[in-house]
Chains A and B, each alone.
Chain A
Amino acid sequence: DAGVIQSPRHEVTEMGQEVTLRCKPISGHNSLFWYRQTMMRGLELLIYFNNNVPIDDSGMPEDRFSAKMPNASFSTLKIQPSEPRDSAVYFCASSGDLYGYTFGSGTRLTVV
């Protein structure tokens, strides 16, 4: 098993541009989570899905952020328009109930 796969690993973009982060969860896992990690705020849960349905998006910072999970093997996190304060490492994780999470390697986003 290749684990949770995130792409791209690094993204540098200009303020105002649209950014799309991608995640492929582990096959058979029914929950998917998007986290953001910064030095100032630590690890923040943005949104999570269960069986492809968004369950809790209360952590999404504002309307510029959106997430989708069109099927069990793919999810996207989109930021439009991006701002410098969105610079962070974004992690995707998947879970198969009671077994904890498996995290991807993250996408380091830099907005200049």
Chain B
Amino acid sequence: AQSVAQPEDQVNVAEGNPLTVKCTYSVSGNPYLFWYVQYPNRGLQFLLKYITGDNLVKGSYGFEAEFNKSQTSFHLKKPSALVSDSALYFCAVSVLLKSSGDKLTFGTGTRLAVRP
């Protein structure tokens, strides 16, 4: 069974400072990893994904994530946080099952609060 852990319920950071939102995963096989963001009263929006190739993935709004196979981690990072980055962030993992499509398993979410 696949699983995702987001160990922090909330991350607080000052505007302009770097931010990191942590994610670790557990799968049998090669993982496909995703980050999503949810703003208040909205659905989840895709930020970035790792499928294969370069371990550093760049995504929307200046976010990036680094795939670390030995540590089974996929932490989300941004060099300089903005107040508008305040939202709920979800990490997700999938193992493609060709016979039945891909099923994403989501973490519990981390709330990012960026103070001015």
Chain A residues in the interface with B (C-beta under 8 A): 4, 30-31, 33, 42-43, 45, 48, 50-51, 55-56, 91, 93, 95, 97-106
**Chain B contacts for A100, CB-based, 8 A:** 34, 36, 46, 49, 92, 104
- The A/B interface has a contact count, at CB < 8 Å, of 61
Kindly state the interface size class of chain B when it binds its partner. 20 to 34
Known contacts A97-B101, A98-B102; 15 additional CB pairs below 8 A are A4-B43, A42-B108, A45-B103, A45-B106, A55-B101, A55-B103, A56-B100, A97-B96, A100-B49, A100-B92, A100-B104, A101-B104, A102-B46, A103-B45, A106-B42
**Chain A contacts for B101, CB-based, 8 A:** 30-31, 48, 50-51, 55, 95, 97
**Chain A contacts for B92, CB-based, 8 A:** 100
**Identity of the chain A residue whose Cβ is nearest the Cβ of B105 in the assembled complex:** A45
**Chain B contacts for A99, CB-based, 8 A:** 49
With A31-B101, A97-B101 in contact, is A103–B51 under 8 Å at CB?
Answer: no
Best-buried of A50, A95, A100, A102 by chain B (most CB within 10 Å): A100
**Identity of the chain B residue whose Cβ is nearest the Cβ of A43 in the assembled complex:** B106
CA distance A91 to B44 in the complex (A): 9
User: Please, could you name 21 A-B residue pairs with CB atoms under 8 Å apart, sorted by A?
Assistant: A31-B101, A31-B102, A42-B108, A42-B109, A43-B44, A43-B90, A43-B106, A43-B109, A45-B103, A45-B106, A50-B100, A50-B101, A55-B101, A55-B103, A97-B96, A97-B101, A100-B34, A100-B46, A101-B104, A102-B46, A104-B43
